[in-house]
Structure 1
Amino acid sequence: MGTLRIKRIYEPPLTSDGFRVLVDRLWPRGVSKAEAALDLWLKEIAPSAELREWFGHDPARFDEFATRYRSELKTNVEAVDQLRDIAKAHDTTLLYGAHDRRANQAVVLAEFLAGQGPHFEQDA
């Protein structure tokens, strides 16, 4: 597996990002497609609209959100396999738009992909 990182999409793209994948269902406000410098927008891997709305980026709900999102990922085999194959072949950066750098779906997704094994790098 290549290096797996997570990063806010509002941070400038770097060559060290490798393959850049937006993992949000909605396009982030104020970011043009050129600025995003995406290789892939994999909105199918994002939490369901219902889960996203329930969570509402409330840190107090993050643990339950993470549990529910992992359950969704277990049934989203096609999108997970697609992302896992990319991450095996390339250094990969999962991009997200949330303000909270610790309580967001990219953190849960990276941990899920890493299988609680190899460490992933998180933006500061």
Structure 2
Amino acid sequence: MIKIKKASEPVSDDDGFRILVDSTWPVEFSRDELKINAWFKEIAAEKNTEEYLSQLKKKIKLIKHLKLLERVKKQLTLVYWSEKKGNVLILKNYLDGKSRVIRSSVGRIHG
């Protein structure tokens, strides 16, 4: 299961494995305060929301790593700091397989 939290929201026991998905560290918080297990700054949006999905398709190794973490850890929390929550929602939907663009680009699996 994957959920989303803003860095300023309190850490809870059910957050599971916490991953910061912003390109910059929130200077207001230390690593201990945020309880971040990993920082995937490479997966952060470099441009606007409309272009983020195409960026994710180019970062397939990071996506596969996140999917593996989800299977192993059972609970992932994507932590973000920027004001662009839309990009984090796109990433979550991408990981959950809920993006229409992803489903249509994968094609048919069975004959």
With the length of structure 1 as denominator, give the TM-score of the two structures: 0.72
Q: CA deviation at 1:99?
A: 4.0
- Residue in 1 that maps onto 2:6: 8
Q: Given that residues 98 and 104 in structure 1 are in contact (C-alpha distance below 8 angstroms), is that contact kept between their aligned partners in structure 2?
A: no
Q: Given that residues 21 and 38 in structure 1 are in contact (C-alpha distance below 8 angstroms), is that contact kept between their aligned partners in structure 2?
A: yes
Task: List 4+ stretches of structure 1 deviating above 2 A.
Answer: none
Higher relative contact order (CA 8 A, sep 6+): 1
Residue ranges of structure 2 left out of the alignment (5+ in a row): 100-111
Select the residue among 63, 72, 81 that pairs with 2:64: 81
Q: CA deviation at 1:115?
A: 0.9
Per-residue CA distance 1:31-84 (angstroms, 9 max, x = gap): 111101011011111112xx1xxx4xxxxxxxxx2x311101011111111111
Q: Is 2:76 the counterpart of 1:92?
A: yes
- Residue in 2 that maps onto 1:104: 86
Q: For 2:41 and 2:92, how far apart are their aligned partners in 1?
A: 15
- Residue in 2 that maps onto 1:68: 51
The amino acid across from 2:40 in the alignment is L
Larger Rg: 2
Q: For 2:16 and 2:42, how far apart are their aligned partners in 1?
A: 21
With the length of structure 2 as denominator, give the TM-score of the two structures: 0.80
Share of identical aligned residues, percent? Answer: 32
- Residue in 1 that maps onto 2:105: none
Q: For 1:40 and 1:69, how far apart are their aligned partners in 2?
A: 21
Select the residue among 24, 27, 39 that pairs with 2:25: 27
Q: Given that residues 8 and 96 in structure 1 are in contact (C-alpha distance below 8 angstroms), is that contact kept between their aligned partners in structure 2?
A: yes
Q: For 1:68 and 1:99, how far apart are their aligned partners in 2?
A: 16
Q: CA deviation at 1:104?
A: 2.9
Q: Given that residues 5 and 93 in structure 1 are in contact (C-alpha distance below 8 angstroms), is that contact kept between their aligned partners in structure 2?
A: yes
Q: Given that residues 13 and 37 in structure 1 are in contact (C-alpha distance below 8 angstroms), is that contact kept between their aligned partners in structure 2?
A: yes
The amino acid across from 1:94 in the alignment is L
